[in-house]
């Protein structure tokens, strides 16, 4: 699989317009250089400022990564319990944000990208505390230095993976207990508070996921305090980037980095996340066998949440109704009328060789089976067997339906399960059209990597089938499902009109916000 699957490049832009650093080892991470063969397009060009920022980040990462004298110094300082250098008025050269795993794979990918964006904005270094279930999922993203936090024993903070439990050291708790404070204490009681507020602790936990225990993180005045704390241990399962835009201190930089707000996650995930070789083999072997032969690929991702389950018949109807509403899946009545069949899939494409591969990702086989029989009955024979796919053909139009796995249940603690899940996220992301499930981070990551605005199936809250089956996404950006609410920040006010032009309510969740 070391040559392009279509006999030519996808968009022929191997380093993504300079987004990816040159000169990294090709063999140890094949996906970094090969993914451009598989993506049909790369819709957003990175800004020059983003490229400069990334190169500066890489240099900083090399200076501060585990194994460097700077890192050893920072670990010593972490052991000491105080961010001492900051207290003396200087700033440590190396300050870190440590990503901690929380929740499923899609969630983790979203929080990794958000944490990286935060590291870019605050001149920190991103280190990932990867548990064994995630060890062989992604390549090292940065040239010449690791992003892995060395194993638990060497790191002075115990029980890292049981985070969220050490609330003693959570940022909000420290603020409430006045162990960190918002700047110079008032002169009158200077001595009373100075000792507790001027020497920041060496680390704090930040809970920025759906639990959002540290909503005050999104206030500029707290960002100034956090800036003095050398180690931030970040615990999130969400894409919190859209909420950073509402922090006045980050506003201008975000505008310069991403003139097109819709491109934030797309560019950063294409930069940061590269499936490791074992996963990439799963992806490319499957793609070449089942998806590459088609002229068009459609991804259908069906996620059923327990709190919003509905009967499978209703869910299947919702998918078909959504598809009709958004003109996505080929209609089956076309084959009955040869002229319509010749136009292929109801999309006005009159090519004679018009074939569609429908790739289904779901924990269950049910929807795949229904779609497969939809396109095979009754007039068409199977053109391709095995491999979890069924393909049907007429003389002018072929539709194949494929599913790679149906795992039945989530098993995030299992590496092989996660590798298969990651492979499916990438297979979905090679689609030209997508139907995804509302509220699913698995779907969010796929469509954003693809650079495709999906049709998002609306969630059956209270187990009621939604009246509108789906909505077309306004952007390829993921939704931040738990933005801070009712925050009263004391810092610089944010330009509300500008905010409303770039951040809006999500299609699938009225309490969520996203870039568009
Ligand atoms: P979310 O729960 O939909 O937001 O997505 P996550 O990725 O965070 O968590 C769901 C997890 O369930 C995934 O990481 C997989 O482990 C598993 N899973 C859910 N849907 C699929 C699927 O379509 N294919 C595979 N292979 N695994 C899935």
Tokens (6 digits) for 172: 């909000």
pLDDT attached to residue 88: 57
The whole-number pLDDT of residue 72 equals 94
Is residue 117 within 8 Å of residue 241, measured between CB atoms?
A: yes
Neighbours of 269 (CB within 10 A): 21
Q: Would strands 433-437 and 354-362 be described as parallel, antiparallel, or unpaired?
A: unpaired
**What is the number of the ligand 1 atom nearest to the C-alpha of 362?**
23
Pairwise CA distance, residues 168 & 380, whole Å: 65
User: Ligand 1 atom closest to Cα of 404?
Assistant: 26
Name the strand (E) or helix (H) holding 393: strand 389-393
CA distance 48 to 198: 38
Quick check: CB of 412 below 6 Å from ligand 1? Answer: yes
ipTM over 0.85: yes
Q: How far is the CA of 55 from the centre of ligand 1 (A)?
A: 33
Buried b (16+ CB within 10 A) or exposed e, 385-417: eeebbbbbbbebbbbbbbbbbbeeebebeebeb
Q: What is the pLDDT of residue 194?
A: 38
Q: What is the DSSP string of 6-48?
A: TSS-SSS-TTTTTTSPSS--TTTTHHHHHHHHH-S----PPPH
CA distance 125 to 224: 17
How many whole angstroms from 246 Cα to the centroid of ligand 1?
Answer: 30
Give the tokens for residue 286. 């499957």
Q: What is the C-alpha to C-alpha distance for residues 83 and 197, in angstroms, rounded to an integer?
A: 12
Q: Which atom of ligand 1 is nearest to the CA of 420?
A: 26
- Give the integer Cα–Cα distance in Å for 363 and 297: 20
Pocket lining: 446 vs ligand 1, CB cutoff 6 Å: no
Phi first, then psi: give them for residue 167, nearest 5 degrees.
-70, -20
How far is 227 from 75, CA to CA, in rounded Å? 17
Quick check: CB of 491 below 6 Å from ligand 1? no
SS3 171: helix
Would you give the DSSP letter of residue 360? E
Q: Would you say the CB of residue 148 lies under 6 angstroms from ligand 1?
A: no
pTM value? 0.92
Q: What is the pLDDT of residue 73?
A: 94
Beta strands in 228-381 (DSSP E): 231-235, 296-302, 354-362
How far is CA 414 from each of CA 59, 94, 411, 422, 440, rounded to the nearest angstrom? 34, 33, 6, 12, 20
* CA nearest ligand 1 atom 5, residue: 442
pLDDT for the residue 167: 72
Starting at the earlier edge strand, list the strands of the sheet with 203-207.
Answer: 125-128, 96-100, 231-235, 203-207
* CA of residue 421 to ligand 1 center, whole Å: 6
Tell me if 440 CB under 6 Å of ligand 1. yes
Structure token pair of residue 167: 């609330």
Say how far apart CA 444 and CA 451 lie, in whole Å.
11
* Alpha-carbon span 202 to 210, nearest angstrom: 25
Mutate to test the pocket of ligand 1, among 102, 103, 105, 305 (most ligand atoms within 8 A of CB): 105
- Residuewise pLDDT in 10s, the chain (516 residues): 678 887 655 666 889 999 999 999 999 999 999 999 999 889 999 999 999 999 999 999 999 999 999 999 999 999 988 886 554 555 678 999 999 999 999 999 999 999 999 999 999 999 999 998 998 999 999 999 999 999 866 788 877 776 555 677 899 999 999 998 776 544 444 444 434 446 889 999 999 999 899 999 999 999 999 999 999 999 999 999 999 999 999 999 999 999 999 999 999 999 999 999 999 999 999 999 999 999 999 999 999 999 999 999 999 999 999 999 999 999 987 544 333 333 333 343 444 578 999 999 999 999 999 999 999 965 443 344 444 566 555 445 699 999 999 999 999 999 999 999 999 999 999 999 999 999 999 999 999 999 999 999 999 999 999 999 999 999 999 999 999 999 999 988 889 999 999 999 999 999 999 999
- The contacts of residue 139 (CB under 8 Å, 6+ apart) are 28, 29, 31, 32, 274, 275, 276, 277
Quote the pLDDT of residue 91.
66
| Ligand 1 centroid to residue 96 C-alpha, Å | 29
Using most ligand atoms within 8 A of CB, pick from 210, 300, 304, 410 the residue to mutate for ligand 1.
410
Q: Could you tell me the distance, in angstroms and rounded to a whole number, from the CA of residue 104 to the centre of ligand 1?
A: 6
Query: CA 173, CA 43: separation in Å to the nearest integer?
Result: 43
């Amino acid at each position: 699989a070391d040559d392009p699957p279509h006999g030519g490049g996808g968009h022929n832009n191997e380093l993504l317009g300079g987004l990816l650093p040159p000169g990294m080892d090709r063999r140890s991470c094949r996906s970094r250089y090969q993914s451009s063969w598989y993506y049909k397009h790369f819709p957003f060009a990175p800004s020059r400022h983003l490229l400069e920022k990334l190169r500066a980040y890489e240099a900083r990462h090399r200076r501060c990564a585990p194994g460097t004298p700077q890192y050893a110094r920072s670990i010593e300082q972490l052991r000491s319990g105080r961010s001492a250098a900051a207290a003396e008025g200087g700033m440590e050269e190396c300050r870190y944000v440590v990503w901690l795993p929380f929740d499923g794979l899609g969630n983790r990918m979203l929080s990794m990208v958000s944490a990286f964006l935060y590291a870019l904005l605050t001149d920190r270094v991103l280190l990932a505390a990867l548990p064994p279930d995630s060890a062989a999922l992604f390549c090292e993203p940065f040239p010449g230095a690791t992003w892995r936090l060395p194993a638990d024993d060497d790191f002075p903070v115990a029980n890292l993976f049981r985070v969220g439990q050490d609330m003693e050291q959570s940022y909000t708790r420290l603020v409430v207990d006045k162990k960190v404070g918002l700047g110079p204490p008032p002169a009158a009681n200077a001595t009373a508070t100075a000792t507790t507020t001027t020497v920041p602790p060496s680390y704090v936990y930040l809970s920025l996921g759906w639990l959002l225990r540290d909503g005050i993180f999104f206030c500029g005045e707290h960002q100034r305090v956090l800036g003095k704390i050398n180690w931030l241990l970040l615990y999130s399962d969400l894409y919190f980037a859209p909420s950073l835009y509402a922090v006045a201190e980050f506003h201008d930089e975000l505008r310069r980095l991403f003139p097109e707000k819709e491109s934030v996650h797309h560019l950063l995930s294409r930069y940061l996340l590269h499936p490791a070789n074992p996963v990439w083999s799963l992806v490319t072997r499957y793609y070449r066998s089942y998806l590459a032969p088609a002229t068009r690929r459609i991804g259908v991702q069906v996620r059923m949440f327990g709190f919003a389950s509905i009967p499978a018949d209703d869910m299947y109807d919702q998918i078909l109704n959504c598809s009709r509403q958004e003109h996505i899946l080929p209609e089956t009545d076309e084959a009955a009328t040869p002229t319509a069949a010749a136009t292929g899939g109801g999309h006005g494409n009159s090519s004679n060789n018009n074939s569609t591969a429908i790739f289904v990702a779901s924990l269950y086989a049910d929807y795949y089976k229904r779609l497969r029989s939809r396109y095979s009955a009754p007039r068409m024979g199977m053109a391709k067997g095995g491999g979890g796919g069924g393909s049907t053909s007429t003389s002018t139009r072929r539709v194949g339906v494929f599913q790679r796995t149906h795992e039945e249940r989530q098993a995030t603690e299992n590496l092989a399960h996660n590798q298969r899940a990651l492979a499916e996220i990438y297979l979905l992301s090679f689609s030209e059209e997508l139907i995804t499930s509302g509220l699913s981070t698995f779907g969010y990551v796929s469509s954003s990597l693809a650079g495709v605005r999906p049709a998002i199936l609306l969630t059956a809250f209270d187990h009621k089938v939604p009246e509108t089956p789906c909505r077309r996404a306004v952007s390829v950006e993921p939704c931040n499902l738990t933005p801070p609410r009712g925050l009263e920040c004391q810092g610089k006010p944010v330009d509300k009109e500008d905010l409303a032009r770039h951040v809006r309510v999500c299609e699938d969740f009225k309490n969520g916000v996203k870039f568009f």
